[in-house]
């Protein structure tokens, strides 16, 4: 998944969100080692200090734990992962509904579009 940054938010927050999504979707599996700050900074094309700030936020959120001998490990806390996945999903749903309302669509119309999109994806 490429790193794409927008102008509307600080890059370290966007990096944090990208890593969280990668943890939630299993790209970085629970209990496994995360790539090093330098590796991830190079991949993302950012300064290592920016990546370090995002990684520190991951630790503060409980999504990563530093092991002195083996680097950062993704949490194995299933309840925390479920909670954060729900938070991210609710935010995405809220943004989707706001966009549909801006287009003048009702909640019923938006749900019908989701059903239609799902059927097209099969």
Q: Where are the domains of the chain?
A: 11-76, 79-121
pLDDT at 3: 81
Q: Considering only CA atoms, which of 72, 15, 19, 77 is closest in space to residue 49?
A: 15
pLDDT at 1: 55
Beta-carbon contacts of 84 under 8 Å, excluding residues fewer than 6 positions away, are 20, 24, 61, 63
Distance CA 2, CA 21 (A): 13
Percentage of the chain with pLDDT > 90?
Answer: 86
> What is the domain class of 11-76 according to CATH?
mainly alpha
Distance CA 53, CA 47 (A): 10
Q: b/e for 18-47, b at 16 or more Cβ within 10 A?
A: bbbeebbeeebebeeebeebeebbeebebe
What letter does residue 34 receive in the DSSP assignment?
Answer: P
The per-residue pLDDT for range 23-81, each reduced to its tens digit, is: 999 999 999 999 999 999 999 999 999 999 999 999 999 999 998 888 899 999 999 99
Strand partners, 67: 71
pLDDT at 65: 94
pLDDT at 121: 82
């Amino acid at each position: 998944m490429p790193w794409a940054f927008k102008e509307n938010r600080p890059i370290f927050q966007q990096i944090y969100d990208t890593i969280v999504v990668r943890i939630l979707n299993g790209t970085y599996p629970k209990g496994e080692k995360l790539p090093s700050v330098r590796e991830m900074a190079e991949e993302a094309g950012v300064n290592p200090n920016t990546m370090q700030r995002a990684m520190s936020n991951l630790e503060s959120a409980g999504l990563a734990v530093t092991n002195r001998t083996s680097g950062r490990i993704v949490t194995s806390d299933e309840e925390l992962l479920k909670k954060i996945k729900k938070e991210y999903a609710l935010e995405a749903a809220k943004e989707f509904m706001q966009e549909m309302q801006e287009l003048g669509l009702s909640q019923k119309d938006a749900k019908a579009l989701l059903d239609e999109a799902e059927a097209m994806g099969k």
